[in-house]
Amino acid sequence: MTTTETFFSVLKEHRESKSIQIEEISEYTKIHPRYIEAIEEGNFNILPNVYMRLFLRSYALYLDVDRNKVLEDYELHTTGKVQNKSEFELVEKESSNNKNIKPKSAETNDIDISHKKIITIALVVVGIFLIFKLISSISQEQQSIEQESQDTMQPINPNEEIIEEEIVKQTTSLNKQKKYSTLPNLAVLNETDFDPLKKKDEPVILPIKITLPANFHLTTKTQTKVNFSILSENFSYNKVLPADTTISVPFEKTISFDFWSANHISSNIGGISLDEYFTDQDLAIRGWYDVENNVLIFSYYSH
């Protein structure tokens, strides 16, 4: 890259040289084309820093370029300096460890850490400890539930034909008593269902630690639409499913998902129930689980 070239223009040239379309990246990363175009134009103010870094990481991963170098170039472009890993963790609440961080130089010993910073760091440490205690408790409670459900859930193998199985459960009669919204059509989910103008509030970010390989389990309460894809793998599952259908999607890499309605489904990931995190309102959900940072990110969309 020459001194007159920007890192984002080089990324765009690299994408074009590999004949990769923006729509192709959007399909597998679930990043809206509008944000990919913003990245390639250097319009980084369109999103908060924490979301832009996540999108840049997925974008670089799909193009098979050094994502750490891309993130460093992004920091240089936006702040004029490269932040160290600890600063990233405080901003983004990432839980992954960077084994390549170089030891701090002797000059950092001269920094005067204020009383306010010490309190802030202490609160962050306590907060992280409490979160992982809560996650551990939820994981233990769900372990028995996951074990019981294994006999009734039909796994989805990306390399084999997908088999769907309708399972009659004890909750079927209760589900039928509750009124659910009906689908406007039988077309599978697409980008028009997740237009940025339909987005509700800011994305929800939840630190969830699971052991890989894991499964994303889902049971439908009524006829609905679901879409799963796995980053960096040629796997996509986009279907209109009948009520009382249970599926299980195994994954080891970042998995993305789209649901037509939050109250149409019941789900868990790696044995951890997502029902208490998802709203019971009739809103569409788009999100993904980032296996590198152990974080679940999702947004709601109106119909």
Which residue matches tokens 């699971």? Answer: 210
Report d(CA 297, CA 295) in Å as an integer. Answer: 6
* Domain segments of the chain as ranges: 7-92, 128-301
Sort 220 into a burial class: Cβ within 10 Å, 0-12 / 13-18 / 19+: buried
Q: Select the CATH number that applies to the domain covering 7-92 from these four: 1.10.260.40, 3.40.350.10, 2.40.110.10, 1.20.1260.10.
A: 1.10.260.40
pLDDT in tens, the chain (303 residues): 555 689 899 999 999 999 999 999 988 888 888 899 999 999 988 888 888 888 998 999 999 999 899 999 988 888 877 655 444 443 344 434 433 434 333 344 444 446 667 778 878 887 787 877 777 666 566 565 555 544 444 455 544 444 444 444 444 444 455 789 999 999 999 999 999 899 988 899 999 999 999 999 999 999 999 999 987 677 889 999 999 999 999 999 999 999 999 999 999 999 999 998 998 889 999 999 999 899 999 999 999
Which tokens belong to 142? 């769900």
DSSP letters spanning 4-59: T--HHHHHHHHHHHTT--HHHHHHHH---HHHHHHHHHT-GGGS-HHHHHHHHHHH
- CA torsion sign for 177, 181, 187, 193 is negative
Q: What is the pTM of this model?
A: 0.50
